[in-house]
Amino acid sequence: MRFFRDTLSKLSSALLLCATLPVSAAYDQHPRSEEFIAEASKEYKIDPAEIRTWLNHAEKLDSVLEAIARPAEKVKEWDEYQDIFLTKKRISAGKAFIQEHADLLQQAEQKFGVDKHIIAAIIGVETFYGTRQGNYRVLDSLATLAFDYPQRPLFWRELKAFFALARDEKIDPATVKGSYAGAMGYGQFIPTSFLHYAVDADNDGKRDLWGNPADAIFSVANYFKRHGWRSGEAVTQRVRVSGKEYEEIVNDSLKPKWTVAELKALGVEPTVKIADDRSANLIRLQGKVGAEFWLGEHNFYVITRYNHSRMYAMAVYQLSEALR
């Protein structure tokens, strides 16, 4: 009996302790929740009660905060990018992807004027052709970043857009998976990009970028068209440099800001014929055997609209050439 009383006493103490421990409140109880609900309701005409319910089901993920706040590792050089994105395995899988979806890629190229190899390369770089789309619940990752990572207010915007796309596409927000930063589907669209550029390619009434290759392929193509892709134009070419004057303008802009004639005057020599009045910039990357110099033309800049990185754009371009 004494053992029973002692055990009961210990259990009661433990329950009392648990009751006094701080409990992480749901996001519908967050101090800024009403502000968020009012904004999302006004901006996207979503029922406030629906938003509140979704916020109630969102969970704070410390792993997301740790991932985004983690000090950046050494910035990778181009030679390291090549080891990641230009492997035999990725190229082989890309050729299989193109063969499997040949008709869809051809239709997208004809409809949007975007090179089908660039479309495939984007999907190959982003998710290894749809096989690595992310395992985070987008509801959790975006709510965590919107409310508990104020350094990046863009996530507040993206969470509102996520609720809008869930409403529009009749998707349960709790079921959507993606990256820790809320990127989704074959092409890793963030919610605002989904709202602006996602396409219902097969007219089934849904824009399914997670499981429908047609919608995913057409959506990537639409993104590029809307950002100014020029059909038939080159992306980049290797160049030679001489003298010292070019050093003042190398890597000075993602957007082409010089004419080819101006670049030539600074010691840049194209290896492929190009009109002197064409806009471009000079790119320097650290390759396997030293510095590489490239001409960044308009379509190269368009690739950087997908991800604002020269090395990303070069990886997409060179993967597309390998797939070609």
Instruction: State the DSSP H helix or E strand holding residue 178, giving kind and residue range, or none if neither.
Output: strand 177-178
How buried is 65 (Cβ within 10 angstroms: 0-12 exposed, 13-18 middle, 19+ buried)? middle
The answer to whether 311 and 78 are in contact (CB under 8 A) is yes
159, 132 in Cβ contact below 8 A? no
Contact of 267 with 246, CB cutoff 8 Å: yes
E strands present in 191-289 = 236-241, 258-259, 268-270, 279-287
Size of the chain, expressed as the number of residues it contains? 324
| CB 178 within 8 Å of CB 188 | yes
Containing 294, the helix (H) or strand (E) segment is strand 290-296
Residues forming the active site = 126
Nearest to 230 by CA among 256, 201, 197: 256
107 class by beta-carbon count within 10 Å (0-12 exposed, 13-18 middle, 19+ buried): middle
What stretch of H or E contains 69? helix 62-69
CB-count exposure of residue 197 (10 Å: 0-12, 13-18, 19+) = buried
Burial code of 234-268, b = ≥16 C-beta within 10 A, e = fewer?
A: bbbbebebeeeebeebeeeebebebebeebeebbb
CB neighbour class for 6 (10 Å; exposed up to 12, middle 13-18, buried from 19):
exposed
